[in-house]
């Protein structure tokens, strides 16, 4: 499906299929979802409930079997047929394993699929294709402390050394409390994989064996809240009674895990939550659930579940002295949309989330009467040896987004490039450079 066709499809209305048109097995589940605990604990079941309700099913409820972190969501047709959808939440990697051994129809993951998993699942089709890789929500990994801990911010270098066990006391960080107690998710967790990728592996570190490990996000958060010497990492909805600290990465400003900064993926520990479904899946329930998750109704459920939805909104940005003058002027006269366009690694092509976001941005622009010279695109890039090259590349990326908007009837006000200024991540690692290669959308 081309990008232009995708946008027309999405803007023409989200797919709706009646329950009568979907096959209902006489025995066993209509859909089997396995994977991330972050998604499967509540967001996945809530999306399933929303879909069943939209399909007109009755008596929708959850049942919890004896196995921990597993649920069944059940509805009933008007004719009395039971529809059962199973959700098993034992960690992102288990979802891909389940796809491989055909014990799941859809994998829920709180991290991007790994190259090794892509290779292992190649018989099912390209799981990196736009139809297969569906970003359903944005989350931020919060670094949490006991509420009595006076520390307000940390950088990712400090985090790596803390969780590797190299920084052993709070006093080494200018705080108080004695020995640091580490809390972490288990090895099957996408939350752990994300933390390992964004913090530990980038600096050649490994998690200390002294860390207490948890399969449950809620139990980890409550344990940190009860331990004055504790520190842990957790998905945003699970901060609960703990205290989240601001995080800086490289030359970026320290940022709290605020919804606006996570929506744009500027927050250093922001991450995407995914559904992966084989392109050739024969289970229409998987396809319909993935489409429902992208719809306005699905994204409202994302927000209600404590995650950050991909619904586009305009936000005011306060100018400050660290911004270039041109950016300060923009922030005084326009509003920024809560989306950044990012690009596939090593490519000038929009990534899969950007393809989905393009439709949402176009919808926002048209609904709010912004099609005539009311939109400015601002491009940024990673640091280059030649600043002029960084400036050029940042503007070229903005031009790539401009082309897609113009094709869909938007007359642009301006396209600007700020080169490597205002980084949101360190340029010393591939992940950080990719985050810095971004295009912002501003509206007047």
- Nearest Cα residue to 144 out of 266, 41, 235: 235
What is the maximum alpha-carbon separation in the chain? 69
| Domain segments of the chain as ranges | 3-136+274-304, 140-262, 312-443
Beta-carbon count within 10 A of 348 CB: 12
The reply to whether 312-443 shares the fold of 140-262 is no
Considering the segment(s) 140-262 as one domain, its CATH architecture is 3-Layer(aba) Sandwich (3.40)
Question: Inter-axis angle of helices 43-54 and 284-294, to 10 degrees?
Answer: 100
pTM beyond 0.85: the answer is no
Q: Which CATH class is domain 3-136+274-304?
A: alpha beta
Token output for 363: 């919808």
Q: How many CA atoms lie within 13 A of 315 on its CB side?
A: 17
Alpha-carbon gap, residue 14 to 4, rounded angstroms: 16
pLDDT value of position 433: 75
The pair phi, psi for residue 127, each rounded to 5°, is -80, 0
**CA torsion, points 238, 244, 246, 249, in degrees to nearest 10?**
-50
* Residue 397 Cα distances to 394, 404, 436, 443, angstroms: 5, 12, 12, 18
Alpha-carbon gap, residue 136 to 346, rounded angstroms: 24
Digits of tens for pLDDT over the chain (444 positions)? 443 434 433 443 434 444 447 999 988 999 999 999 989 999 999 999 999 999 999 999 999 988 889 999 999 999 999 999 999 999 999 999 999 999 999 999 999 999 999 999 999 999 999 999 999 999 999 999 999 999 999 999 999 999 999 999 999 999 999 999 999 999 988 899 889 988 999 899 999 999 999 999 999 999 999 999 999 999 988 999 999 999 999 888 899 999 999 999 999 999 999 999 998 888 999 999 999 999 999 999 999 998 999 999 999 999 999 899 999 999 999 999 999 998 766 566 788 899 899 999 999 999 999 999 999 999 998 877 677 777 888 888 899 999 999 999 999 999 999 988 898 877 666 666 778 889 999 999
- To which CATH superfamily is domain 312-443 assigned? OmpA-like domain (3.30.1330.60)
Q: Are 278 and 133 in contact, with CB atoms under 8 Å apart?
A: no
């Amino acid at each position: 499906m081309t990008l232009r066709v995708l946008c027309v499809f999405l803007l023409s209305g989200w797919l709706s299929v009646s329950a009568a048109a979907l096959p209902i097995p006489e025995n066993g589940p209509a859909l089997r979802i396995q994977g991330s605990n972050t998604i499967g604990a509540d967001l996945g079941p809530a999306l399933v409930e929303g879909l069943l309700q939209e399909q007109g099913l009755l008596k929708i409820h959850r049942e919890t079997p004896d196995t921990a972190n597993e649920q069944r969501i059940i509805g009933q047709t008007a004719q009395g047929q039971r529809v059962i959808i199973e959700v098993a939440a034992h960690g992102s990697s288990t979802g891909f394993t389940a796809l491989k051994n055909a014990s799941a129809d859809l994998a829920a993951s709180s991290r991007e699929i790994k190259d090794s998993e892509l290779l292992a699942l190649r018989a099912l089709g390209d799981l990196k294709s736009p139809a297969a890789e569906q970003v359903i929500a944005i989350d931020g990994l919060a670094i949490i402390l006991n509420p009595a801990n006076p520390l307000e911010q940390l950088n990712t270098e400090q985090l790596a050394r803390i969780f590797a066990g190299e920084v052993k006391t709070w006093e080494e960080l200018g705080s108080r409390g004695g020995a640091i107690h580490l809390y972490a998710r288990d090895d099957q967790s996408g939350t752990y994989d994300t933390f390992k990728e964004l913090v530990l592996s980038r600096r050649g570190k490994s998690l200390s064996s002294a860390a207490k490990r948890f399969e449950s996000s809620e139990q980890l958060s409550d344990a940190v809240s009860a331990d004055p010497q504790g520190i842990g990492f957790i998905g945003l909805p699970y901060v609960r009674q703990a205290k989240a600290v601001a995080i800086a990465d490289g030359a970026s400003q320290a940022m709290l895990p605020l919804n606006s900064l996570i929506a744009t993926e500027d927050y250093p520990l922001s991450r995407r939550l995914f559904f992966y479904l084989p392109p050739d899946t024969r289970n229409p329930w998987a396809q319909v659930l993935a489409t429902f998750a992208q719809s306005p109704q699905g994204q409202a459920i994302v927000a209600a579940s404590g995650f950050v939805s991909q619904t586009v909104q305009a936000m005011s940005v306060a100018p400050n002295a660290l911004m270039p003058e041109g950016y300060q002027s923009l922030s005084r006269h326009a509003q920024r949309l809560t989306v950044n366009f990012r690009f596939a690694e090593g490519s000038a092509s929009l990534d899969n989330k950007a393809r989905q976001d393009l439709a949402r941005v176009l919808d926002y622009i048209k609904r709010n009467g912004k099609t005539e010279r009311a939109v400015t695109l601002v491009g940024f890039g990673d640091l280059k040896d030649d600043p002029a090259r960084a400036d050029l590349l940042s503007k070229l990326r903005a031009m790539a987004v401009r082309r897609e908007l113009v094709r869909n009837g938007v007359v642009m006000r301006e396209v600007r490039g700020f080169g490597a200024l205002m980084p949101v991540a360190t340029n010393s690692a591939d992940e950080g450079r990719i985050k810095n290669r971004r295009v912002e959308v501003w509206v007047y």
